[in-house]
């Protein structure tokens, strides 16, 4: 299946409510599952990842738990299931079976977990037998997925003893680790991060109602739309100035590439302004989910760039660096990919969209979400497998229609 998106023939002025943060939703679900007393989570994400995790936690009596393509659910549940009674098989989609998990499993086994690989060593599916885990000093490389670290931290209060975690070398997606720690603290757990050491005291989560923030990653596509569309202005509800989400750096990233931001009582108002940037360079180590949005925006505006800190993009839903390079090449844009996990472009090429061109999405929601606004420049764009957006932003296409885009 594919869709054809046509840009609005008038200026874009709209009011949008955004989906809830799946990152916060998934962490809140694990914390609630560990808490001795159930509490309300309001505005829970309706994305596929969160639905998969919620379903798994509601069906722990099942012998086989299949989380499909939900990477966050796989990591969080691996840690969670390792310390609750029972024997289960945790599995997922074929792509999930290709995504490594051995570094997390290795640490859990060090703590006393009983986990076996069923098919390929180091990859799901996993056979997990819940057992009592004993805390001990642990060292972990900072260049692994931050979700491994978050998975360990969230179960840490329920280990036998105090967990002391040392993170070595460069730390990727640091803001997601901070998100986890701040959320744990909100629920009454003593946890602190000083230098490269994180300490979590033994304890229990205290129940309290939580309202999940709107998702800053999802907001990025509206920032992109405003940047590419003259005279546009959009109000986005539910976003907080003092957000737990690292992707709130969006307001700074887009300041010089055509978007002015102002917080309101309900969220944020963004409007198009002249672009002052002549060369864009940024380290996406702490906000890798924004890289595709910025890459597409910068190509559309012919701004040369160098994007660094993309270390983990190759192990996402697809190899995102490779996907970007391939898709841009098909549009006449030659992005350079370097061994240091950076991409760059000289800004000296014109977009060329053949009549029969279809943007491939590689089973990755962010490819569809980020490329769709490009139709503002190309006037029309075809996108394959548009349903992938259900992973994080199920109502995206409907929202674009309401903003004036034509979708067939």
Under 8 Å between Cβ of 70 and 46: no
- Is 128 within a domain? yes
pLDDT band at 354; cut points 50, 70, 90: confident
Confidence at residue 165, expressed as pLDDT on a 0 to 100 scale:
94
Taking only the tens place, the pLDDT of each residue in 394-406 is 999 999 999 999 9
Statement to judge: residues 261 and 339 lie in one domain: yes
Statement to judge: residues 187 and 233 lie in one domain: no
Domain boundary among 148, 177, 201: 201
User: Does 9 qualify as catalytic in the annotation?
Assistant: no
- What integer is the mean pLDDT of 181-190? 97
- Is 323 within a domain? yes
Statement to judge: residues 193 and 153 lie in one domain: yes
Confidence at residue 169, expressed as pLDDT on a 0 to 100 scale:
82
Between CA 304 and CA 301 the distance in angstroms is 9
Taking only the tens place, the pLDDT of each residue in 292-339 is 999 999 999 999 999 998 876 655 556 888 888 899 999 999 999 887
Q: What do you get for the CA distance between the two ends of the chain, in Å?
A: 11
- Is 206 within a domain? no
Confidence at residue 318, expressed as pLDDT on a 0 to 100 scale:
62
**Which SS3 state, helix, strand or coil, does residue 125 take?**
coil
- Is 245 within a domain? yes
The total of structural domains in the chain comes to 2
pTM: 0.89
Statement to judge: residues 232 and 197 lie in one domain: no
Statement to judge: residues 29 and 158 lie in one domain: yes
Statement to judge: residues 81 and 180 lie in one domain: yes
DSSP of 148-170, one letter per residue? Answer: HHHHHHHHGGGSBS-EEEEEESP
Statement to judge: residues 102 and 189 lie in one domain: yes
Q: Environment class of residue 10 by beta-carbon count within 10 Å: exposed (0-12), middle (13-18) or buried (19+)?
A: exposed
- Is 228 within a domain? yes
- Is 137 within a domain? yes
Statement to judge: residues 172 and 278 lie in one domain: no
Statement to judge: residues 7 and 125 lie in one domain: no
Statement to judge: residues 155 and 304 lie in one domain: no
**Of the residues 289, 311, 364, 398, which is catalytic?**
289
The stretches of 112-210 forming alpha helices (DSSP H) are 146-155, 174-186
Statement to judge: residues 15 and 26 lie in one domain: no
- What integer is the mean pLDDT of 256-265? 96
**Which SS3 state, helix, strand or coil, does residue 312 take?**
coil
pLDDT band at 210; cut points 50, 70, 90: very high
Per DSSP, the chain holds a count of helices (H) and strands (E) of 13, 21
**Which SS3 state, helix, strand or coil, does residue 70 take?**
coil
Q: Which of 290, 285, 289 is nearest to 340 (CA)?
A: 285
- Is 208 within a domain? no
Domain boundary among 201, 226, 261: 201
Range of the domain at 64: 22-201
Say if residue 70's pLDDT is above 70.
yes
Q: What is the mean pLDDT of the chain?
A: 93
pLDDT band at 171; cut points 50, 70, 90: confident
Q: Look up the CATH number of the domain holding residue 304.
A: 3.65.10.10
Statement to judge: residues 297 and 344 lie in one domain: yes
Between CA 49 and CA 82 the distance in angstroms is 20
Domain boundary among 201, 231, 256: 201
- Is 207 within a domain? no
């Amino acid at each position: 299946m594919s869709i054809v998106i046509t840009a609005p023939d008038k200026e874009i002025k709209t009011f949008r409510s955004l989906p809830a943060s799946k990152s916060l939703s998934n962490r809140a679900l694990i914390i609630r599952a560990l808490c001795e007393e159930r509490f309300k989570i309001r505005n829970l994400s309706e994305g596929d990842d969160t639905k998969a995790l919620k379903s798994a936690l509601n069906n722990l009596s099942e012998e086989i738990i299949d989380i499909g393509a939900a990477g966050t659910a796989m990591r969080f549940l691996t840690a969670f299931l390792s310390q609750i009674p029972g024997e289960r098989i945790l599995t997922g989609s074929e792509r999930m079976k290709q995504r490594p998990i051995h570094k997390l499993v290795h640490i859990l086994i060090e703590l006393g977990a009983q986990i076996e690989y069923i098919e390929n060593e180091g990859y799901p599916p996993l056979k997990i037998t819940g057992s009592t885990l004993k805390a001990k000093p642990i060292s972990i490389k900072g260049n692994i997925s931050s979700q491994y670290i978050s998975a360990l931290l969230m179960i840490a209060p329920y280990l036998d003893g105090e967990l002391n975690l040392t993170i070595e070398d460069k730390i990727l997606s640091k803001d997601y680790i901070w998100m986890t720690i701040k959320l744990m603290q909100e629920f009454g757990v003593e946890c602190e991060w000083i230098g490269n050491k994180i300490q979590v005291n033994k304890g229990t989560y205290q129940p309290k109602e939580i309202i999940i923030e709107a998702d800053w990653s999802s907001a990025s596509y509206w920032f992109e739309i405003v940047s590419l569309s003259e005279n546009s202005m959009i109000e986005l509800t539910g976003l907080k100035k003092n957000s737990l989400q690292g992707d709130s750096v969006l307001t700074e990233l887009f300041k010089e590439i055509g978007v002015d931001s102002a917080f309101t009582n309900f969220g944020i108002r963004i409007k198009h302004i002249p672009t002052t940037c002549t060369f864009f360079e940024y380290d996406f180590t702490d906000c890798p989910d924004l890289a595709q949005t910025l890459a597409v925006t910068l190509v559309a505006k012919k701004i040369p760039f160098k994007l660094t800190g993309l270390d983990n993009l190759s192990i996402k839903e697809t190899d995102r660096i490779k996907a970007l390079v391939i898709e841009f090449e098909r549009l006449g844009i030659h992005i350079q990919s370097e061994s240091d996990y950076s991409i760059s472009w000289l800004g000296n090429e014109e977009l060329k969209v053949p009549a029969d061109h279809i943007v491939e999405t590689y089973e990755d929601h962010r490819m569809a979400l980020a490329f769709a606004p490009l139709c503002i420049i190309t006037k029309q764009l075809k996108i394959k497998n548009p349903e992938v957006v259900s992973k994080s932003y199920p109502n995206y296409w409907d929202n674009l229609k309401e903003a004036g885009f034509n979708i067939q």
